[in-house]
Structure 1
């Protein structure tokens, strides 16, 4: 039997109020008591709108990824050159940008780190988001080639994968070491990748 939430507005409120908590602590690290405290709601109210804690985490991932996706894609759309569109995605991740991503780091990196061996539904959602991001960057490179900004022999997919790997790698290094030298070095590496494909 399909689960029907009592209230879509309450369901959305639960997602918004637990987005930071679950991104920081993960599904396994978040208790029902944590959800109650974050929302100010009873267990009954939460489970009247979600069948279980996993469903809350899935909805929260969608919410967090949509926030990040909008920042990335809107940021790219605000630039006229394809080089700037690519670089904007890198620079938005630099800590100095103070971009309003969900606190706790990248929801993709956090979710995959936790869910790869523990929750196939969450892992699949993260994979779909990552593939969507990859396609978006690949299309930017393809359009840059069409506009004669990038070299015709550029491997579009490989370029997108390198940029995303550098962005996520920079996040990993900064969160683990708190040392900006690694982030700055990786940002410069991303800039070189983009410079090297320019005509």
Structure 2
């Protein structure tokens, strides 16, 4: 059971996620967060030491929620192929993403690359873990006979993730979902070439 203070802090973090995802760390001001939460500056600073502390905790939660949603989508698959397809389908609508502004992993990665070494490490850890999980899933598909051993799991895992994340940002900029649908269809067809 959350205390009142914990509920307030969670409310601040949850409310700030879309702000950070749309405007970025540098673009969000404390006033933006105060306006969205309707809280006072004193209340906000009662929960966070600084804007940097708030930013780190918001990004941590955004990354965790994103990873949790991907895991939930993938867990619905009964086979390795179904799980990979579920991962790809998670990205099928680059315009209406579950958090406004696109994928928090990609958005944060591009912003923190040169400016926020601590957050860069956090995003890198999420991306590396995602790559490892996808690689492991493809390896399991080979081991259980779903996929041919001609499939190179680390290479294909990188390609799948890089393609959907890149496709996501390109489709958002062009304001269309059609290329993403074609990309996902193409990636699925590529994977199906390895079906034993």
Q: Please, what TM-score do these two structures have when normalized by structure 1? A: 0.89
Q: 1:77 Cα shift?
A: 1.4
Aligned to 2:47: 49
Q: Please, what TM-score do these two structures have when normalized by structure 2? A: 0.91
Q: Deviations over 1:57-81 (max 9, x none)?
A: 2211222222221221122111111
Runs of 5+ in structure 2 lacking a partner?
A: none
Cα separation, 2, equivalents of 1:173 and 1:151: 32
* 1:94-173 alignment runs, 5 A limit: 94-95=92-93, 101-173=98-170
Count of matched residue positions in the alignment of Structure 1 and Structure 2: 193
Is the contact made by 1:87 and 1:194 (CA closer than 8 Å) also made in structure 2? no
Cα separation, 1, equivalents of 2:189 and 2:45: 50
Q: 1:101 Cα shift?
A: 2.3
Aligned to 2:58: 60
Q: Structure 1: which 4+ aligned runs deviate by more than 4 Å?
A: none
Aligned to 1:88: 86
The yes-or-no answer on 1:189 pairing with 2:189 is: no
Cα separation, 2, equivalents of 1:96 and 1:163: 15
Query: Secondary structure of 2:121's partner?
Result: helix
Query: Secondary structure of 1:45's partner?
Result: helix
Runs of 5+ in structure 1 lacking a partner?
A: 1-5
Q: 1:97 Cα shift?
A: 10
Query: Secondary structure of 1:48's partner?
Result: helix
**Alpha-carbon RMSD:** 1.9
Is the contact made by 2:18 and 2:101 (CA closer than 8 Å) also made in structure 1? yes
Cα separation, 2, equivalents of 1:97 and 1:106: 10
Is the contact made by 2:94 and 2:169 (CA closer than 8 Å) also made in structure 1? no
